[in-house]
Amino acid sequence: MGWDLVVILVVPGVVGVACWWLPPRVGRPLSIASGLLTFVLALLLVPARTPSALHGWLRADSLSVVFVVAVGFLYLATMVFAVGYLHPSGGPTHQARYLRRAFAGLNVFCWAMAVAPLVSSLALLWVAIEITTVVSALLVAIDDTDGATEAAWKYVLIASMGLGISLLATIVVYYAGAVTIGHDYDLFYPTLLAAASRFPPQVVRLAFVLAVLGFGTKVGLVPVHTWLPDAHSEAPTPVSALLSGALLAVSFYAVLRYFQVAVRTLGPTFPRDVLLAFGLASLGLAALYLASQRDLKRLLAYSSIEHMGILAIGMSFAAPIAVVGVLLQVLAHAAAKGTAFFGAGSVVRKYGTKDMRHIRGGIGALPWSGPMLVLAVLALSGMPPFGIFRSEFLIVEGGLSDPHDAVVAVLVVLVVLAFLGLSWFSTKTMQTPTPKSVVRGETSKWIVGSMVIGVVALTVLGVHPPGQLSDLLTRAAAELRAPR
């Protein structure tokens, strides 16, 4: 067992390199095949019990698998969407060059995000997330517009600052281990977790705050979130979907690895309080900004900040059911945000603008992707029967049983405020009469297909998650609790 980890390590990266040289007519199906293979292998890991490979350098415990499944799903759906969406203007030579760069970058980006949860060392985790920064920044700027270039530079500067802080967190954790274990050791998770109860508490406290602040920059936690709305808005829509649905989650996974160490050294109170503070700030700011957005993609970007805040708040609750809800939200958010960005891409392609003041009658203009975009927005708002409703219900239930009644009340109020902002978009842009000047019809069957994949996944996660997936979430939640 473990061959599937090696395949995930090798295939998407090789496909990315191949797409740089191969013509787009070959790169497109190859990218879809790579996404499908990665997702299938991720699903095969669901019932497995901690397989490893390459002498332990690759390792997939239950927590890892949750995030690999999220990345694999969005990898597949985004590649299907990209085939229908990426049609650059210009001559054949320019088009071919653009598509080669785009599909190469998308595959390498997905490769780095899939590998990050599978490496078994904090140091390698940092390296993988650093690779995602470099590749995704190039993808944000790929359209070579002034806005995209500015957003990419802002992203690089802020994310690099955050990753510098997270590197310091890694060094501090290494020092904590060196005091107890000795200097000659690797930052493998099993080694750290076995010895964490003997680490110096003040050192681990510092490391955890640095990790939340550093990796939280990539998660989009307030106050280190400022790159996110610009990057999501200016990037090509496939890149926006991956940034929002996958990269933020993988960065949150890094925070959870430090959380595992912190709760074993310090107990649960301090790590939970830190996450609660960042989570409330993120959810509060996002809920307020959602009510005032007029740019379609920026609206979805602030929705991502909202959901990252909910994840952080959910981790602050002691009840195991809340942690299960957090992990389910990771999967449901990947499906919902990917579907929403795919629909936004279809709308922008149809109307030629991201300004919601100039978008009317989306459902009539786009008979398939329009209604599915509304469903995705409702899912992001926490409406039943979709997966985010189930996950947020579990988080609220866990908060009430903890009990954290006041925090739960604030959480519910802010989520309702965010719902009002999202519902304004749905009502004003999608459910109004279609102007006669707008030609009715879909922009691409591939876009419709990618959205169908997302809506089906959201419905399954909300109505009846598969038994093996539920078991996986329960095991992963247990891994995040401090041993008694």
Cα separation, 64 vs 75, whole angstroms: 16
Cis before 385 (ω within 30): yes
Burial status of residue 49 (CB atoms within 10 A of its CB: 0-12, 13-18, 19 or more): exposed
Q: Which residues contact 466 (CB under 8 A, 6 or more apart)?
A: 460
- The pLDDT, as a whole number, for residue 484 is 59
- Dihedral Cα 347, 350, 355, 359, nearest 10 deg: -80
Cα separation, 14 vs 278, whole angstroms: 38
Amino acid at 202: Q
Name residue, tokens 């992963």: 476
- The pLDDT, as a whole number, for residue 207 is 96
Spans of all domains in the chain:
1-120, 121-266, 268-484
Structure tokens given for 324: 């299960």
* 267 φψ region: left (φ > 0), alpha (ψ -120 to 50), beta (else): left
- The pLDDT, as a whole number, for residue 140 is 94
Cα separation, 80 vs 144, whole angstroms: 24
- The pLDDT, as a whole number, for residue 103 is 96
Give, in order, the Cα–Cα distances in Å from 254 to each of 228, 259, 281, 396: 18, 9, 20, 24
- The pLDDT, as a whole number, for residue 292 is 79
Cα separation, 123 vs 258, whole angstroms: 12
484 residues of the chain, pLDDT tens digit each: 588 999 999 999 999 999 999 999 999 999 999 999 999 999 999 998 889 999 899 999 999 999 999 999 999 999 999 999 998 877 888 899 999 999 999 999 999 999 999 999 999 999 999 999 999 999 999 988 888 899 999 999 999 999 999 999 999 999 998 888 877 788 899 999 999 999 999 999 999 999 999 999 999 999 988 899 999 889 999 999 999 999 999 999 999 999 999 999 999 999 999 999 999 999 999 998 888 788 889 999 999 999 999 999 999 998 899 999 999 999 999 999 999 999 999 999 989 888 888 888 889 889 999 999 999 999 998 889 999 999 999 999 999 987 778 899 999 999 998 888 888 777 778 888 888 888 888 889 999 999 999 999 999 999 999 999 999 999 999 999 866 5
